[in-house]
């Protein structure tokens, strides 16, 4: 409890005068110079309600003590009132610069001293109570924030685990090797990083890219709804079968929408964009909605190129793998549909990085 007033003056008489004024309301502590005062302050910091300080004292004078209290940030704890007969205007200004609360000239007026000390003590008590309350609230908010961060991290991990499970289901349903989705993820990440660097207008960030890469494995999740007779048919599909196969994008979109309450909003949005729009083409010639240009979400554009390249260089039930350099050129020359020229430029620049991902997945058919 702050109920003590420290009087710092080398004159015993002056200390007694101030003590007589204040001892009815406060317990009085005394020091003959700044050195003694600093020891008392550091020992009884939380008990001191105010300090009354003389300027001219031996060993450590009042100005020097103020400087030390200011450097140690102690003047936020209690008010300091300078009580002196000094008339130097510059000295007064220096004291206020160090952070004193008031300046009282000797000889002192009893009522004035009592009123000023009481008002300043009340003011500082309110300020310190507010500060302590704010610190408690800040501590609570920080703990709540940490808890929310932990929950958010757990939710992200849950989202990623769910996506991985669904991606695995798609692989087995399509009879694809794990390397295909690994390549799609790797290619998507490489292309997205180049787009982020070269074309900031798309608003890609590291966090958004992580979500796009994670959701990329769901691009063909709708194929789990396609009958085996169509999905695994080794020969060419009939027109009717091909139209049914194309419905996998809408079916995948509907699947994600049906379980969207289980996921974080950003993952849901990105997954739905990719499943629905990864077969759209930049000239409007894709499906299911005939989107054109940047009507196609950037997430779907990225996965579209990544999936196309991964599919070309991989073996499947209905085709052999195409050599790396041939597949690369097919995409650049528009043989696989029209892609954004910006995205194709990133694809061109990323050729060595794409090559490393392909090699890591066991694809060795030709040089990129």
Beta strands 80-84 and 27-31: pairing type? unpaired
| pLDDT score at 160 | 64
pLDDT in tens, 153-208: 665 666 666 666 566 556 554 545 557 888 999 999 999 999 999 999 999 999 99
223 an active-site residue?
yes
Q: Which of 4, 185, 223, 342 is catalytic?
A: 223
The arithmetic mean of pLDDT across residues 12-19, rounded, is 93
What's the pTM value of the predicted model, to 2 decimals?
A: 0.57
| pLDDT score at 235 | 77
| pLDDT score at 162 | 60
Q: Which domains does the chain have, with CATH numbers?
A: 4-137 (3.40.50.2300), 175-360 (1.10.3210.10)
Most confident of 69-78, 97-106, 190-199: 190-199
| pLDDT score at 155 | 59
More confident residue, 341 or 252: 341
């Amino acid at each position: 409890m702050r109920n003590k007033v420290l009087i710092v003056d080398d004159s015993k008489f002056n200390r007694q005068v101030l003590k007589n004024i204040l001892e009815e309301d406060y317990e009085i502590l005394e020091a003959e110079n700044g050195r003694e005062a600093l020891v008392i302050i550091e020992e009884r910091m939380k008990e001191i309600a105010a300090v009354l300080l003389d300027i001219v004292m031996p060993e450590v004078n009042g100005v020097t003590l103020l400087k030390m209290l200011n450097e140690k940030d102690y003047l936020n704890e209690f008010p300091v009132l300078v009580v002196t007969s000094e008339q130097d205007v510059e000295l007064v200004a220096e004291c206020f610069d160090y952070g004193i609360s008031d300046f009282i000239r000797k000889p002192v007026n009893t009522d004035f001293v009592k009123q000023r000390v009481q008002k300043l003590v009340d003011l500082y008590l309110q300020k310190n109570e507010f500060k302590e309350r704010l610190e408690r609230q800040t501590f609570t908010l920080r703990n709540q924030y940490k808890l929310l961060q932990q929950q958010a991290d757990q939710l992200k991990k849950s989202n990623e685990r769910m996506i991985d499970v669904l991606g695995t289901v798609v692989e087995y349903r399509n009879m694809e090797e794990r390397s295909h989705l690994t390549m799609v993820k790797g290619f998507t990440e490489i292309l997205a990083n180049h787009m982020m660097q070269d074309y900031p207008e798309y608003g890609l960030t590291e966090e958004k890219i992580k979500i796009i890469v994670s959701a990329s494995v769901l691009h063909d999740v709708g194929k789990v709804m396609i009958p085996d007779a169509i999905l695994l048919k080794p020969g060419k599909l009939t027109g009717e079968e091909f139209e049914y196969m194309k419905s996998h994008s809408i079916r995948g979109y509907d699947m994600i929408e049906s379980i969207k309450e289980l996921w974080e909003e950003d993952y849901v949005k990105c997954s739905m964009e990719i499943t629905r729009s990864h077969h759209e083409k930049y000239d409007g010639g894709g499906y299911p909605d005939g989107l054109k240009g940047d009507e196609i979400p950037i997430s779907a554009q990225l996965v579209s190129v990544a999936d196309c390249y991964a599919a070309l260089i991989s073996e499947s039930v209905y085709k052999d793998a195409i050599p790396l350099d041939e597949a690369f050129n097919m995409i650049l020359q528009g043989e696989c549909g029209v892609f954004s020229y910006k995205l194709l430029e990133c694809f061109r620049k990323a050729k060595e990085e794409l090559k490393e991902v392909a090699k890591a997945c066991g694809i060795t058919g030709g040089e990129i």
